Amino acid sequence: MYYQFYVYILKCHYGKLYTGFTNNLDRRLTEHQQGLNKSAFTYKRRPLALIFSQEFNDVFQAKSFERRIKKWSSKKKLALASGDYDKLRLLSICQNDTSSAFVSMDYVPKRIIE
């Protein structure tokens, strides 16, 4: 038997993003739009627009991908949704000043100097 699972990103009213997982994308989008669950994140943020969906044949891969992108910034999610993979790669680089990408051998953190 062939199963389909989806990870999707909705753009809510006022620009907030919602990431979800389902086995029936059309049904789930209808549920979000109709506001069937008053305690749901999307209930007060309607109308909603589907900006990204990815189909999976394996439930574990789908759930793993959903968990990963739920931790992403909105900028990263928007880059994924628009297919801007160069921007997504740049946004994925650790950008804090203690990252190994920026630290030289003679680097001394500011909090140690003070």
Query: Which domains, from first to last, does the chain contain?
Result: 5-113 (3.40.1440)
**Average pLDDT for runs of 10 along the chain of length 114:** 93 95 97 92 94 97 98 96 94 72 56 44
Query: Is 0.75 topped by the overall pTM?
Result: yes
Question: Per the structure block, which two tokens stand in for 69?
Answer: 């992108």
Q: What is the pLDDT of residue 107?
A: 57
CB 74 within 8 A of CB 11: no
Cα separation, 105 vs 96, whole angstroms:
16
